[in-house]
Each structure stands twice: as C-alpha cells, then as structure tokens.
C-alpha cells in the first residue's frame, strides 16, 4: 500500500476548473515534485492535501486512512509557504516554537525540539533575532524549521525558493534534499523551475491545465517527454515536424520528434563515429549563446532551425557566424511525441 494516495481529486472555483480527476500515489520517504507553469493547479492541489482548501470531489488517504475532511491541525502535515508566513513580532525561536505551543507541548520538550531543528537547518547563532534581522535565505530556513519541529509525517513545500537569488536558491535546495533524506520524510515540492525539479526529485509529476500529463523519474521526464507540452516545458528540445525529420534524417514518423541540443554532435574531421550516429548533415551557424560550461549554437540545416549544445572548452575554437559544419544525430536519443 502506498503511503499517500490521492484519488480522483477535483477542484473548481465557480465554473472554472482548477484541476480534475487527479490520481497519484507516493511512497513513504519519497520526494515528489509537482512541476508546471503558473495557473496549472499545483499549489491548490497542495493546499487540498494540507487541508487548507476543500476539494469538490475525490479522496486523500495517508497510510490507508481517509483524511479528506480532517482539519489541518490533525493531519500530521507540515507546510512551508512561498512568502514564509513568519510572525514579525517573534524571534527565530519563537516562530519555530509556535506550533508546539498550540499543541500544549511541555516547555522542556519545546526547548529541546527547537534546538534540534535549529541545528538541523544550521541557524545556530540566530536564535534571538527577529524576522527583519534575517536574510531571505535565513527566513526560509526558519519557515522550514517551523514545519519540521512538529515532526510531520508529510512535508509540503509550495514554491519555497522562488523569492531567493540564484546562489541562495541553489544552496537551500541542496539543504532541503539533505534534510529530507536524513529524516526520510515524505515530501511534496511545488515549483515551476525545471532545474529545481530535476535536481531534487525522486519523481516528477508534470502538470498542465489541471492534469498530470506525465509522471516519472527526473531522467525519464527529461529524456523521454510524453508529449509536446512536456518537451517544450522541460527546456530546449528541438521539436521537428515529420517533414523536417524526413529531410534531416530520412526517417518516416507520424508525430513530432523531440531532439535535445546535446544529442546533436558537430562532426570533427578525421574522427570515427559509432553506428548510432546519423550520416552527416550540412548546417550553417547563425549565432551562439554562452551558457557557462555549454555553448549553444543556433544553426540552419535543410531549412530547419536547430539548437546544438557543445561543451565550452577554452582550447577549442568558437564556431563563427556563417561557418559550415556537419551535424550528426544520436539515433538512440530521438523521442517521438504526441
């Protein structure tokens, strides 16, 4: 039996569908990400699981027990919000201890548990600071500690890093994954950031217009998108029509073909290539983008615009605009999509 089961869950605001007939199962200790664009229903779905929003139909079960109509305080679920929702008149310790005080936990135990989670989220030395004295990253750690101190059986994270700058966001997502793994805590993470989802998740549920359109491991979602929406949303796939596929590769396909930029190679003179790479196809470089350790070339080949990624090696010459090159396609990494 799965730990958390959501069955046929639907939610409408008036006549507007937020999501409909949602079904999924999550195992104990698993970290699952709900990934999708703004307005696809992922945050409302999270609030339904937390008990903050009531679904119109369907069921939510934990360990086989129906919690669909159980009040939030009795679900054993902790939630971290995008805007932190901290109390400005309380210190770090006061904010973290708040949930325990509402549960009438003894003072000595409150102190012990607060100190434990402060160490867990690495906030030592900040115990007596107020919210306005903390950085954005520290505030998010307080919000996380406040959710963890009540020892929830499920942790929900609603876009917890979206307000932070890139460096802090990267560090905090690593901390979240460390803490989740250490506690073996069943966790649902909501984000619209594909990189966050790929880095953090045991599994990803991609949502579009109120439906889960694909579920699977990060590798599966990235390398084998189920449809055109997933391919476009997950980043920088080249999406080719059947006619373009025939022109470039001589293949007959029914639907569109998704090809990742790194699955297209620039042929090097004198080098022997394996059989799974296609015959050379002539292309012309139009321009390039420097993406840190990757150079993305935009090229034209047989009337098709393509993106081609190569490693940024300082010893290699940068291909100039107008340069003619031969492209090789990795036939093992072509994905036909609906």
pLDDT at 82 over 90: no
pLDDT at 270 over 80: no
pLDDT at 286 over 80: yes
Domains and their CATH numbers in the chain: 4-233 (3.40.50.300), 239-337 (2.40.50.100)
**Tokens 């998704």 sit at which residue?**
258
pLDDT at site 183: 93
Partners of 332 in the β-ladder: none
Higher pLDDT, 273 or 329: 329
pLDDT at site 101: 85
pLDDT tens, position by position, 26-58 = 999 999 999 999 999 999 999 999 999 999 999
pLDDT at site 274: 84
Angstrom CA distances, 2 to 63, 154, 190, 200, 217, stand at: 7, 13, 20, 21, 17
Report CA 35 to chain centroid distance, whole Å: 5
Using pLDDT thresholds of 50, 70 and 90, give the confidence band for residue 166: confident
Angstrom CA distances, 36 to 99, 166, 169, stand at: 31, 19, 18
- Mean pLDDT, the chain, integer: 92
pLDDT at site 279: 83
pLDDT at site 301: 95
pLDDT at 176 over 80: yes
Contacts of 167 (CB under 8 A, 6+ apart): none
The token duo for 71 is: 């009040």
Using pLDDT thresholds of 50, 70 and 90, give the confidence band for residue 275: confident
pLDDT at site 315: 63
pLDDT at site 21: 95
pLDDT at 235 over 80: no
pLDDT tens, position by position, 94-135 = 999 998 888 888 999 999 999 999 999 999 999 999 999 999
Mean pLDDT across the stretch 302-306? 93
8 A C-beta contact, residue 150 and residue 99: yes
**Tokens 């070339």 sit at which residue?**
297
Higher pLDDT, 227 or 84: 227
Q: Which of 42, 51, 49 is nearest to 210 (CA)?
A: 42
pLDDT at 165 over 90: no
Q: Is 14 left (phi over 0), alpha (psi -120 to 50) or beta?
A: left
Q: In 60-74, which positions are buried (b, 16+ CB within 10 angstroms) versus exposed (e)?
A: bbbeeeebbeeeeee
pTM above 0.75, yes or no: yes
């Amino acid at each position: 039996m799965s730990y958390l089961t959501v069955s046929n869950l639907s939610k409408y605001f008036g006549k507007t569908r937020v999501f409909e007939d949602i079904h999924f199962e999550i195992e104990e200790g698993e970290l699952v990400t709900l990934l999708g664009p703004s307005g696809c229903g992922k945050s409302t779905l999270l609030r339904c699981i937390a008990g903050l929003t009531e679904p119109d139909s369907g069921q939510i079960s934990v360990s086989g027990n129906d919690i669909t109509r159980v009040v939030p305080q009795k679900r054993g679920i902790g939630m971290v919000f995008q805007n932190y929702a901290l109390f400005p008149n309380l210190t770090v310790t006061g904010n973290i201890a708040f949930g325990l005080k509402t549960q009438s936990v003894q003072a000595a135990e409150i102190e012990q548990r607060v100190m434990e989670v402060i160490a867990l989220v690495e906030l030592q030395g900040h115990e007596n600071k107020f919210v306005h004295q903390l950085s954005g990253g520290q505030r998010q750690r307080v919000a996380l500690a406040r959710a963890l101190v009540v020892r929830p059986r499920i942790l929900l994270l609603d876009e917890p890093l979206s307000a932070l700058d890139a460096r802090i966001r990267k560090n905090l997502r690593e901390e979240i994954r460390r803490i989740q793994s250490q506690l073996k805590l069943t966790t649902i993470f909501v984000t619209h950031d594909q990189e966050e989802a790929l880095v953090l998740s045991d599994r990803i549920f991609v949502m579009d217009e109120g439906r889960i359109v694909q579920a699977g491991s990060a590798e599966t979602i990235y390398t084998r998108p189920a449809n055109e929406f997933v391919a476009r949303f997950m980043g920088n796939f080249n999406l080719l029509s059947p006619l373009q596929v025939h022109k470039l590769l001589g293949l007959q396909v029914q639907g569109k073909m998704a090809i990742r930029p790194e699955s297209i190679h620039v042929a090097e003179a004198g080098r022997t290539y394996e059989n799974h790479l296609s015959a050379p196809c002539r292309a012309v470089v139009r321009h390039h983008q420097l993406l840190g350790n990757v150079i993305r070339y935009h090229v034209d080949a047989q009337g098709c615009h393509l993106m081609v990624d190569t490693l940024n090696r300082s010893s290699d010459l940068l291909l100039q605009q107008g340069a003619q090159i031969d492209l090789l396609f990795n036939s093992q990494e072509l994905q036909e999509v609906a």
